[in-house]
Structure 1
Amino acid sequence: MVLVGFPILSIIAGILGYFFFRNLFVSPIFVFLSALVATFTVFNDSFLLWVFVYTCLAFLSGLGIKIFKENKGPI
């Protein structure tokens, strides 16, 4: 889950977050907060490193969609 499932969910959240909110920072903040809560409720403290990785993945996927959309034009 940590190496495949959660990164895919973070990337999808970044893409959908940009499409719904037209803002790069909404979905990474959501991913950060939800993973941070999961760190202290479900997982242990070593999961904290992955919180930052998933946040970066969500931001980079939203940024990639934004750049792609600007170069291609309206969808």
Structure 2
Amino acid sequence: MVLIGFPVLSLLIGIVGYFLFKNIFVPPLIVFLGSLFATYTVFNDSFLIWVFVYTSLAFLSGSVVKIFKERKGS
């Protein structure tokens, strides 16, 4: 889950969130808050490093979609 499931989910949230909110900062915030909540309720404190990794993935995927969309001219 930690190495495949959650990263794919955060990438998808970054992509879909950009199209929904037209902002690259809202999807990473959602991923950050969700994974931070999961760190202290489901997982232990060692999961905290993954919170920042998943947030970065969501930000990068939203940024890539934004760049491609601007280059396409839509």
TM-score by length of 1: 0.97
| Aligned Cα root-mean-square deviation (Å) | 0.4
Paired positions, count: 74
What's the offset of the Cα at 1:15? 0.3
Distance 1:14 1:64 in 2: 10
Deviations 1:32-73 (A, max 9, x none): 000000000000000000000000000000000000000012
State TM-score, norm by structure 2. Answer: 0.99
State yes or no: 1:63 paired with 2:63.
yes
The C-alpha deviation readout for 1:11-35, integer Å capped at 9, x for no partner, is 0000011000000100000000000
Q: Identity percentage over the alignment? A: 69
Gaps of 5+ in 1: none
**How far apart, in 2, do the equivalents of 1:70 and 1:29 lie?**
22
Which runs of 5 or more structure 2 residues have no equivalent in the other structure? none
Amino acid paired to 1:54: Y
Q: Distance in 1 between matches of 2:43 and 2:15?
A: 26
Q: Which amino acid aligns with 2:17?
A: G
Q: Counterparts of 1:18-29 in structure 2 under 5 Å?
A: 18-29=18-29
SS in 2 for 1:2: coil
